[in-house]
Structure 1
Amino acid sequence: MSTLWVYQRIGMQHRKKAENFETLGKRLGQVIAKQRKARGLTQDDLAGLVEVDPVTVSRFERGTSVPSLQRLFVVAQALEVSVGELLAETSPLPGDSAPRLATLLKGLRTTDQQLLMDIAELLQKR
């Protein structure tokens, strides 16, 4: 095995990790934007609540800048959701859909929630 091959493999792995992080940042930004809009907030409004410049909120939402864990906690509080809810919506894994479904259900009327539960039970039985 050549040294060049090892360096190429390491470089490829780092590029993949960087791409995954970039994708995660974009997904997180989309979730933040969706939650902000669902609450009727502008980027300026959210910036004021989080105590950052509106340009920073724009960068978060576009995924060009990823908030630190501390800042993400403040953003989640301002949007009245948990950090877990924000992150659950960013996951591409099917096993992570339960928290996302819970978040979606929370926004529905009780009768609509029950209807979806009934549909899920019917799907499970087939």
Structure 2
Amino acid sequence: MSKYIGSVEERLGKAIARERAALGLTQEELAQAIGVQQETISRFERGAVLPPLQRLIQLADVFDIPLDSLVRGTTNRAVDDGLEITMNLKKLNPESREFVRRWVIEMCEQLGRKR
């Protein structure tokens, strides 16, 4: 059983803020993209309000990530870590992806030996 870090609202808010910042968007720009007020985005990011499903779908579309990746947030499951890494790898060119892939494998092997 996985343990989630923080409440659903907090995790989702942090994920929204992280994805927004990764795209270099302001809260106002994101609000315009999904048709809400800037204060709504602020409430989402603070974890004060849980976005309705339709807004979550819009946010995932704007961020160009799978909905489940946005909703899951941070867990201690390796499969979720792998999905997060995969989404970031998609942003790289093939040469950079290969470099990161080799580095991750090497680091996992080295750290696995230290157990």
- Global fold match (TM > 0.5): yes
Q: Unaligned stretches of 5+ in structure 2? A: none
Sort the Cα spacing of 1:38 and 1:91 in 2 relative to 1 into closer, same or farther, 3 A: closer
CA RMSD of aligned residues (A): 2.3
Please state how far the C-alpha of 1:83 moved relative to its aligned partner. 0.8
Matches within 5 A, 1:64-83: 64-83=48-67
State the structure with more CA Rg: 1
Q: Unaligned stretches of 5+ in structure 1? A: 1-19
Please state how far the C-alpha of 1:111 moved relative to its aligned partner. 2.3
Moved over 6 A (4+): none
Which structure shows the bigger proportion of residues in helix conformation? 1
1:97 counterpart residue number = 81
The yes-or-no answer on 1:51 pairing with 2:35 is: yes
TM-score normalised to structure 2 length: 0.77
- Larger relative CO (CA 8 A, sep 6+): 1 or 2? 2
Sort the Cα spacing of 1:91 and 1:34 in 2 relative to 1 into closer, same or farther, 3 A: closer
Identity of aligned residues (%): 31
Q: Which amino acid aligns with 1:97?
A: D
CA-to-aligned-CA distance 1:14-58 (integer Å, 9 cap, x gap): xxxxxx7x6221121111111112212111111111111110100
